[in-house]
Structure 1
Amino acid sequence: MTENAPTVLDAQGGDLRSLPDREFLDLGTCVNRYGPPPAVETALRCIKPEHLLAHPYGDEERFTEAYAEFMGASPDRLIPGRGITEFIRVLAQLLPTEQVAVVTPDYTDTIRRFPVHLDPPSGTAETAQSRLERVELGMRTRPYVFLSNPNNPLGFYLHRDDLMEICRANPDSVLIVDEAYIEFLPDHAELSMTQSGLSNVVVLRSPNKFFGIAGTRTGALWTLNPDIFRRVAERKLNWTLSHVDAVLAIAALGETEWAEHTRSALLANALGLEEILGDRFPGLVRGVPVHYRFIATDDPIADHRFFLDHGVAVRALDGRQPGRVSGLRITAPTAAELANLKDSLAR
């Protein structure tokens, strides 16, 4: 184990430093296992040392244009940044955190930065409807509500139209939506809240997870709210993105054929993952429209160890921690990995 490595329950997805020194199939991160697309490797090979001499003039503008086109949004409503995490940090600095309610369970940085949580009902299974009801409650009683949609780690997606209805009914409350996984949905451009046209909506987006380029740090904040847009833009760094980040992300965003094929394959593999896990783990959340699955379990450490014994790393979550729910999150593997996983678990 690496010195100062996080424990299993504290480690984020893809951080395997707490595990034994051996090879694991890493299904603990939510990054697309088929990525990066071929154009990214080509772009990386084309970067020459002399390209790194100058400051990255124009790179963030080129990235913003490319991402806006991919999203079907106006580039002048986007603020580029270093992934969604940067915007969570900035919003936590700008907004009174006691007035921001997070619909939990949610993403690691969100629940750490914003301590007011709208937790699932005790003793009942979480559903998309129960999450939607908490969004409505939050917007009715708080100035700001934070929501990951599709949700990390459960995978539920709340339809854009339902969220828009709640936002219209509560114009004095702002809904902040983390859409890190929206691009795994086939109709992501239409289903995103960037298409809402509402000024009490803030959307956080990043191509890193879907295109398998989490090693780069690119993302954007979208909003029609002039006050929030101005305040976040004032916090933007002089050089938001590095040249390498921008070049690789732009190359990925241009891979539309790869995106469609890979999305279909990965979602099919997620259904195959359900079949493999279902009988063994009754707490499996089924039928969600994303590439990962959540298993509710009272003993995530023991079940985490079960997968390690079969050469697979998954994400363990401790329900005793604020904003968490007890269980495992497992990312869909590639088709070849799925076949190997089935054989491994059968043994």
Structure 2
Amino acid sequence: MTAVMDTQGGDLRYLPGESLLDLGTCVNLYGPPPSVRAALRSIDPGRILAHPYGCEEAFTAAYAGFMGTTPDLLVPGRGITEFIRVLAQILPARQVAVITPDYTDTIRCFPTHLPPPAGVTETVDTRLTRVAQAMGTHPYVILSNPNNPLGLYLHRDRLIEICRAHPESVLIVDEAYIEFLPGFTELSMVRSGLPNVVVLRSPNKFFGIAGTRTGALWTRNAAIARRVAERKLNWTLSYVDTVLATAALADTTWAGQTRDALLRNAAELTDLLAGRFPGLAGNVPVHFRFIAVDDPLAGHRFFLRHGVAVRAFDGHQAGRISGLRVTAPTARQLAALKASIAGHGASQTDERARRQRCPIPS
């Protein structure tokens, strides 16, 4: 079970032989949309024979339209993680501060972390305060927004105010989950128009296509855009990646309906878990929920007993906070989860929880 803390969400290889509902992933479980399935079936094998000429341009044009920007402000790449790695190569490590807790690769690549003060519950305001402080002391500040794993979203307008107050510092915003917010186009920092803002985006999580690797870096900072572009691979995107991603981006009807359904399921998930986990943060605008617990391994075992894998975080690790991240399931999966928890035998479950020091009240 110690492997739990070192494993990315969605990777269940450390649980061999288990048939589990995977709520440890942060990918939209309704995906991929029908348009992607159709595009996959229609792929011409002959196109795979040649190099992916024009694919990068096709994806960039489609993604720019989806984001409400222009292609010339985007640098395409293989997901957000690639940009995090490239930025770690081109930016001096001591000049970069990360507002933690944050995403796995971010805290691994950048060693200067700015966590919440000891004993302080993390909120939108506590994170905004640290962003302002960090931009006053560091040339570069990295923030995931909405945050992974807490789900907190800092409004674009308040971040713009901070960026304008610190024009000498660059705010790098990982917006991997922005598409899960209604009105995401207006809420993205892409709309800031500021030269000291960098935005990392990818359609992989929202459209349920994490098996493809597509994404883009947006910025009006020509120097950063040029230095990142210089590190790109010769063939940034494959033909298959591009076909599937562009099909997803065009499926706006599916996107709207699925977003609404997923957020409704997240609210029901909150109701289901709130009475069992007092540390549940339910008032967040995204599709996953964070549960603050002192013993995440025990909490992880509780979910396993109900046939569910969740993402566990060890608060002793740098850049982490102790707890569990649980992704909203589909409506059918949610119904099965409710039945499992209700019918598992409350007294037996609670007794096991007490023996294992699982923070679930009786």
Name the TM-score class by shorter chain: over 0.9
- Matching residue of 2:22: 26
SS in 1 for 2:255: helix
Cα shift at 1:48: 2.5
Give the SS at the match of 2:291: strand
| Matching residue of 2:138 | 142
| Distance of 2:333 and 2:117 partners within structure 1 | 36
Q: Quick one: which of 217, 222, 226 aligns to 2:222?
A: 226
User: Which residue number in structure 2 is paired with residue 90 of structure 1?
Assistant: 86
- Please tell me the residue identity of whatever aligns with 2:22: D
Alignment of 1:148-159 (within 5 A): 148-159=144-155
SS in 1 for 2:35: helix
What residue is the counterpart of 2:302 in the other structure? 306
Instruction: Give the AA of the match of 2:171.
Output: L
Which residues in structure 2 correspond to 1:1-347 (within 5 Å)?
Answer: 7-346=3-342, 347=344
Q: Which amino acid aligns with 1:30?
A: C
Structure 2 residue runs of 5 or longer lacking an equivalent are: 345-362
Distance (whole Å) between structure 1 residues aligned to residue 102 and residue 115 of structure 2: 10
Post-superposition Cα deviations, 1:135-161, rounded to whole Å, max 9, x if no partner, equal 000001110000000000000000000
Unpaired segments ≥5 residues, structure 1: none
Q: Following the alignment from structure 1 to structure 2, what is the Cα–Cα distance between the partners of residues 289 and 85? A: 23
Give the C-alpha shift of residue 20 in structure 1. Answer: 3.9
Secondary structure of the 2:256 match is helix
Partner Cα separation in structure 1 for residue 102 and residue 18 of structure 2: 30
Give the C-alpha shift of residue 249 in structure 1: 0.1
Tell me the distance in 2 between the aligned counterparts of 1:125 and 1:230.
39
Amino acid at match of 1:173: S
Aligned alpha-carbon RMSD (Å): 0.9
Measure the CA separation in 1 of the matches of 2:214 and 2:3. 27
Rounded to whole Å, the distance in 2 between the matches of 1:136 and 1:86 is 26
Q: In structure 2, what is the Cα distance between the partners aligned to 1:310 and 1:289?
A: 26
Distance 2:15 2:292 in 1: 22
Identity, % of aligned pairs?
72
Which residue type is aligned with residue 213 of structure 2?
R
Query: Can you list the C-alpha shifts for 1:21-74, whole angstroms capped at 9, x where unaligned?
Result: 121000000000100000101100111221111000000100000000000011
Give the AA of the match of 1:145.
Answer: V
Cα offset for 1:97?
Answer: 1.0
Output the CA distance in 2 between the equivalents of 1:142 and 1:230.
21
The aligned length equals 343
Runs (4 or more) in structure 1 with deviation over 3 Å come to none
Q: TM-score, normalised by structure 2?
A: 0.94
* Rounded Cα–Cα distance in structure 1 between residues aligned with 2:340 and 2:16: 18
User: In structure 2, how many angstroms separate the alpha carbons of the residues matched to 1:22 and 1:167?
Assistant: 47
How far does residue 207 in structure 1 lie from its aligned partner after superposition?
Answer: 0.1
* SS of equivalent residue, structure 2 residue 326: strand
TM-score, normalised on structure 1? 0.98
